[in-house]
Structure 1
Amino acid sequence: MVPDTTYEFYNEADQYVIYLRKNGEYQRPLVINRITQEITPANYERPYSDNVSSKPSTIYGILGTIRLLSGRYLITVDKRGLAGQICGHKIYRALEISVHRFAKSTSDLNEEEMETETAYIKMLKRVLGIESFYFSHTYDLSLSRQRLSGLSPDVKQQNLFGMTERRFVWNGFLLDDWCNLVSAVLNVDPIYAWPKLEDFVTPVILGFVGILQPLTPISSSFGASEDTPCYALISRRSFFCAGTCSYARETDKVANAATAVETEQIAYIPPGHIFSFVQILDPAPVICSKQPNLFYKTPMKIDYDGKDSANGTDVQSDKEGDKNELFGQIQVAPEEVETIKSDILGVCSAQQYGRTIIINLLDEKSLQMRLCRSYVDEADLRNQSVDFNRECSAHQWHRLSSLLDRLEPEIVAMRQLRLRSVGPNLTISVLQDSQTGVFRTNCLDCADRANVLQSMIARRALELGLQEAYLVSAVSRGKSDFMGTIWPKFEQAFTDIWAENAYVLSFQLSDTKAFKTDSIHMGKRTATGVLMENSHSADCYLQDSINLFLGHYSVFDSDGSPKKRIPANAPVPALRPELLP
């Protein structure tokens, strides 16, 4: 079992004292002086609590610091929940996160600045209260299993923050500020064995982590009686161009896709078989904007000239209810085509995804049809299109199975990661196969239709991997309980975890549950699912809070002076230019 890491946190009037407790032993603490706002290591001997009146609290992670009007704030994980274990590494979900002001007093702020400071704190707590931040002190959740297996031994010896995939580390902005402060004061005196910087750093991802294991060890011909199978589903949201689906749409000017998610399934089947398959979820890579209003489907503006999408052309009719109106082919500017290609091909290559197969779930009419044509026709990409609403109308779910059959040759061709572990705790593994391509599913409602299809692709990939490893036969592969001999009742657990993944991502993107997960659970639409679809709501406050948390919005102007406060009664359109970078 990998040792755990916790901290003792002393919250005193004049200082904060943070002790690292690792492998059952206490390291020398860091001290934050609340008067000077300086950080220094200390040579306090344990037990420190004998000399102070305050009792320590246990914290489980340090997310970093952020500078507001009164100074810096320290952000810590106060409560956690065990999501499960991956290859012996404990994965946690942050249940409660606190914000601690460095400054002892805010007396130097005037009334308006104090109100603004309070508003900023509420915005930070809005993001920190999402309860979908995951972390591990020993396992890099930002990297797929394939990328982890490809790291050299020297790189693996680095601290977690040093080797993370930064686009998936949501507290990267906070950690940059914190690391600059702490690294300047550690190792200043060779007499003392100071703790390392990485011991006070906790990278987190935002998304979903679900881990399944049988309630009792499985005894079969595949492994020892105490060897337990494991299935993990990890969804990592990129913080580039991040936000709610009502405001963060499609791509930005540097080809970052809005609301992008990398989803990985990891399966361990005893004795020592590890499988990993990665998919990516992105909106249509078109430069456009969308502001919420009272319409169910909000009109969207597409950027034709490479300038500001807000000045583009409205591509949707004011007749929102006219479902049959078809629009002509959109004329995409050459620079936008290059952005599209850069987004899909360049980004996928940089992230080692390999060959990209587009699965297009946009409706083939109205606005969505034009988005579809704008990048499929112009960018000349490998594409599989399906109009989800048309193909599956009247509950014809068997048509999705037909699409899956068409995709199976692509699943076989792109392969998947297969490792064979030969060491304790799966620490030593032999590479047997690698994933050489990726499915990129495009959908305007990212956590909805796409999740249905992604779950089906993931299941088919797992079937193929188990068959190739001779863990299941070709006959049993097509059955609903294909894992029955390895893991009884796996099928229901699999559908439940994918449905939960959709719920969680939908809440993050729009503060609503996913609309079509009833088709995952039941294989059909239900009345409840249809009613939920009509309760979609936008959250501009969450979008602004995310911009502040990620550092996309600074509370200071370029000259270092605080930005002027926005009037409380300002209309929504007036907020956007002020709060967006």
Structure 2
Amino acid sequence: MSKQLLLNFCDNQVIIKNTQHEKEVLGIDKFGRIQLFDPTIVISKPKLYMRAVGILGIIRLLSGYYIIVINEADKEGVIGGNTIYKVKSTSVVKIGVDKKGLLPHEQDIEEKLLKRLDSTLKINGYYFSYTYDLTSSVQRGIQKQQEGQNKYLWQNANNEFFFNYYLNEPLIKACTTVDERVGNYILPVINGFFESTLAKINERKIIITLITRRGRNRQGTRYFSRGADEQGNVSNYAETEQVVEFLPVDANDELGNKLASLVQIRGSVPLLWSQCITGRYKPQLILESDAASSPGFAMHFDRLLADYGDIQIVNLVDKRKYERPLGDAFQRLTHSLTSRDRVHYLHYDYHSEAKRAGSSAAIQELVASLAPRLSAFGSYNAISNTYQTGVVRTNCVDCLDRTNVVQSAIATHWLNTLFVAHGVLKPNDYITSHTNIDIVLRNIWADNADCVSMPYSGTGALKTDVTRTGKRSVVGMYNDLSNSITRYVYNNYIDGARQDAYDLFLGKFAITDNYSSLPLSSYSAIPSLSSLSVETMLVLGGVVLASVGLLYQSFTSGFALFNATFSFSSSSSSTGGSVSFIRSILPLAMWSSLIIFGVRLLLQSGRFNELLSWPQLLAYKYRPLPVTSTTRTNTRIKVPYVSDFMNSKFGTYFSTNSHINIHTTTISNTAANTIGGGGIGIGEKRYETFEQSRKLV
């Protein structure tokens, strides 16, 4: 049964009641101060009533504090009798009525920050439970229960996957400074994937559940979040758990209601590296020295060893050309670890092996080579009372497409072994021979691949045809081409805004008491014409005109070209047809040449950078700085990021609105594509080249 919260928004605070269990009432005022009230409190003149099923957290913006509430949630499944919910819609509501106003440009910034926040809330895949720690694997949850020390759900949560942890920091602090019962209102939420489905194999009914928990400590978008940081947090880090629950056949069934689970992890190559966007399809790969990467690399694996036990690395990057430096450095640093006897390294060039043997055969070979290690690591199994003692860490460059294919194959291998061990399958039988459960597994893993890929890359995963069918298909290759083009657009021209949204939601960028007025104006995710230099506008205009000319010429000369070709091939005298053919093809060649020339000019002069979308809330290494100029010339002046203005006392700026501000978000399956709709800019935007920006950082 879901919680029913009643929120009463008053002039200076919001009062929150649990309508089902009125043991205490939570109050949060417009300055972010938290207290508990007696349930009999009389609320005077609330401006707004709102019902909710949970609190996602609170956040401070320029005008004060906002509360983020979960308005609706759908039941997604059950684990061990505990109901799991998926967030369906949320609202961001201002706490308190303000008496003073923001400056006009600050009002604009506030709206842009709210759009950022809303866009992050639109990411598909927020899940929670009132009675189950969804941030933890089944095994970790059992171990925490055995310790039996913590009273509230949030106290057992895995900090890495507690995705709304930053939004709950004020409430968590209040558990110590105000009253521990504030913990009743803290709801840990994961972001990622959850799907639970009933399947049947040889008359045995089972519930198969797949959960992916995305890490929060280094989250972002594809080209703006790569590698590791100095603390060993890696980009696109996620834990994926496949859970099996055996439904009882009869009252004496030993397998009945017992759980088993296998945990795998993924994460970017744990080095200091990045890909600096330049407008090219493959950005410049920047890899720091082994000495620079070593401390964070060691911290990363120390943490994994403490959390999971022994590690089996499966590195899927190419062994040649563009990706080779990553693989070589990964191997060198792995061999230098003091705990290298517990960290096992396998470099498997997926693309080369799939080309050699075919996708299906290559995956089978890889899983067969890993089988002894998988057997040694084991899994959590309530039937045999065993625990998983090691984990497979899989990565490619993005930790999406190749990684998904391999993880699904490992999970299927484990499930097959589990079924054989407990008599569900005979020793020489395989899941792939049982169509019903095989299709269920393939589809649930392909859905997981898309859900994990969307918020990171902007599209669904590639190679999901291999996951769904076991082989490549023409339709699958067409979808991959379409997704690759979409990724290019997002990653180069939109993702700066999406990265800002992550930095705001996860607390990398935060409004504090040291905040001062931001001398900023608004901008869109795609740079406007006013932000471009005259030279760039002229070249870009030429490319656009040439594109229009090419399109027009293609339509108008298509019929003439057909007639010319027919005339050329059928006429007794080919001279007329040949001339007509040349006259038709020359304009097409001319317009095409102008387009190619213009694009090359933009790339070679570095002016393409003016069209690219960069994050602006925080200064990150490898990210060229946005700069401004007062005139339309090539003069470029370095200016700081937004965070660099946060250096003087805040406290005089409040909203001009006399009513409650509500921003409601409804989540759809494709909503991740809408992240970061607005923006925050700095006058006329300019971008340094990468080489120039490195000198400025």
| 2:299 equivalent to 1:292 | no
Higher relative contact order at CA 8 Å, sep ≥6: structure 1 or structure 2?
A: 2
CA drift at 1:349 = 1.5
Contact persistence 1:556–1:562 (CA under 8 A): no
Which structure has the bigger radius of gyration?
2
2:154 aligns with 161
Tell me the alpha carbon deviations over residues 135-189 of structure 1, each in whole angstroms, 9 at most, x when there is no partner. Answer: 11111111111111112545364211111111111111111123335765548xx
Q: 2:314 aligns with which of 359, 363, 367?
A: 359
The letter of the residue matching 2:222 is C
Change (3 A) 1:153 1:197: farther
- 2:419 — aligned with what? 466
Query: What is aligned with 1:29?
Result: 25
Whole-Å separation in 1 of the counterparts to 2:22 and 2:296: 51
CA apart distance, 1:122: 0.9
* Aligned twin of 2:173: 180
Contact 1:258 1:283 (8 Å CA) reproduced: yes
Query: TM-score, with normalisation over the residues of structure 2?
Result: 0.68
Question: In the alignment, is residue 232 of structure 1 matched against residue 217 of structure 2?
Answer: no
Which residue number in structure 2 is paired with residue 544 of structure 1?
500
> How far apart are residue 21 of structure 1 and its match?
3.4
Q: Report what 2:573 is aligned to.
A: none
Residue of structure 1 in register with 2:85 after alignment: 92
- Map residues 367-516 of structure 1 onto 2, 5 A cutoff: 367-380=322-335, 382-393=344-355, 395-420=358-383, 432-476=385-429, 478-481=430-433, 489-516=436-463
Deviation of 1:553 after TM superposition, in Å, equals 1.1
Moved more, 364-373 or 567-576: 567-576
* Aligned position for 2:480: 530
Partner of 2:559: none
Q: Contact 2:198–2:206 (CA<8 Å) still a contact in 1?
A: yes
* Superimposed CA distance per residue, residues 330-372 of structure 1 (whole angstroms, 9 cap, x where no aligned partner): xx33x5334323323x021121x11111111101112211100
Deviation at 1:109, TM superposition (A): 1.3
AA paired with 1:466?
F
Deviation per CA, 1:371-420, whole angstroms, max 9, x where unpaired?
A: 00111134225222222222212854322111111111111111111003
2:183, 2:421 → 1: CA distance?
40
CA contact (8 A) 2:237 2:268 kept: yes
Higher relative helix content: 2
Q: 1:256 aligns with which of 221, 233, 236?
A: 233
State whether residues 547 and 580 of structure 1, in contact with CA within 8 Å, keep that contact through their aligned partners in structure 2: no
Report if aligned partners of 1:555, 1:563 keep a CA contact under 8 Å in 2.
Answer: no
- 1:198 Cα deviation (Å)? 2.0
Q: SS state of the match for residue 545, structure 1? A: helix
Range with bigger deviation, 83-92 or 110-119? 110-119
Of stretches 568-577 and 228-237 in structure 1, the one that deviates more from structure 2 is: 568-577
C-alpha distance 573-384 of structure 1, shift in aligned 2 (>3 A)? same
Higher mean C-alpha displacement, 457-466 vs 534-543: 534-543
Q: Structure 2: how far apart are the matches of 1:574 and 1:127?
A: 15
| 1:446 aligned counterpart, secondary structure | coil
Q: Distance in 1 between matches of 2:140 and 2:56?
A: 24
Alpha-carbon distance in 1 for matches of 2:323, 2:643: 26
How many pairs align? 511
Equivalent-residue separation in structure 2 for 1:384 and 1:37 (angstroms)? 50
Unaligned runs of 5+ residues in structure 1 are 188-195, 223-227, 305-331, 421-430
Please point out which of 287, 293, 308 is paired with 1:336.
293
Partner Cα distance (1:507, 1:481) in 2: 32
- 1:552/1:580 contact within 8 Å kept: no
Distance 1:230 1:164 in 2: 24
Check the 8 A contact 1:283/1:444 in 2, yes or no: yes
Q: What one-letter code is carried by the residue in structure 2 that aligns with 1:140?
A: D
Deviation at 1:450, TM superposition (A): 0.5
Aligned to 1:146: 139
- Counterpart for residue 137 of structure 1: 130
What amino acid sits opposite 1:390 in the alignment?
A: S
Structure 2 equivalent of residue 423 of structure 1: none
